[in-house]
Amino acid sequence: MFYQIAHDFETLWNFPNCIGCIDGKHIRIKCPKKTSSMFYNYKNYFSVHLQGVCDAKYKFITVDIGAFGKQSDSGVFAESNIYKYLETNSFNVPPNRPLPNTNIPIPFVLLGDQGYPLKEYLMRPYPWTSNLDPEKEIFNYRLSRARRMIECTFGILVSKWGFLKTELQINEDHVDTIIKCICLLHNIIIDQEGVDDTLFVNIHQTNTEIEISRRNNRSKTVAYAIRDKFKEYFNNIGDVHFQNS
């Protein structure tokens, strides 16, 4: 499965060794009877977190549902099963593989935005500054272009299931199960009906806490090095003509 996903991200979105994009979405719910303040998010409504990982064709690979709306993406991620499985490689991600036309093995990675931590298995953009190095800007562009897949996936989900745009009038005990079922149905519909890619034509050009240990410090250093390797690749042998426009 992961080899096929990586192939799709490379051929469709020009980001090799990518096995998914991750992000979170708030699902609006009615005021819970218990611990309501924990569900009240920064957008000023009650919600639960839907954290999803998608492939290159608008389908969910895995979802984690039910975190309090008050939590940040990074907080939700740190407490999620997705994080635990990635840390222990319970997803059975394949071993490192060289980027195309190179001989240096690089891990397969997920793509996230600035709300997520940089990990050996999770790439995020370089911090945006007014004097950001042009090569880092190109890396950020390439990551952002591919990562938009998760935004589009959520967009399709909400467009198909219009009631997700409003407050769910159901008991909070059933919210997680209902959202999981909707995500499963979403994948089935994508398989059967496909997606009108013209809806997202602009994606091609748009420039868009766990205790720290010695091992984690080393992992962070390795993660920085992996991101730099992707940056070097995108600015040399792996460049595409439109990234400089």
Which stretches does DSSP call E strand in the chain? 18-28, 47-54, 60-68, 97-98, 105-106, 109-111, 122-123
CB 70 within 8 A of CB 39: yes
What are the tens digits of pLDDT across the range 73-99?
888 999 999 999 999 989 999 999 999
The structural domains of the chain, with segments of one domain joined by +, span 2-244
Confidence of residue 220 (pLDDT cuts 50, 70, 90): confident
Q: Please, which pLDDT band fits residue 102 given cuts at 50, 70 and 90?
A: very high
Across 22-36, 76-90, 117-131, 148-162, least confident range: 22-36
- Cα–Cα distance, 18 to 146 (Å, whole number): 9
Encode pLDDT of 8-63 as tens digits. Answer: 999 999 999 999 999 999 999 988 877 778 888 888 888 999 999 999 999 999 99
Q: Using a pLDDT cut of 90, give the percent of the chain over it.
A: 62
Note the pLDDT of residue 34: 75
pLDDT at 241: 82
Q: How far apart are CA 71 and CA 65, in angstroms?
A: 12
Residue 207 reports pLDDT greater than 60 = no
Confidence of residue 64 (pLDDT cuts 50, 70, 90): very high
Residue 198 scores a pLDDT above 60: no
* Residue indicated by tokens 């490379």: 10
Q: What does the CA dihedral 45, 47, 50, 56 come to, rounded to 10 degrees?
A: -20
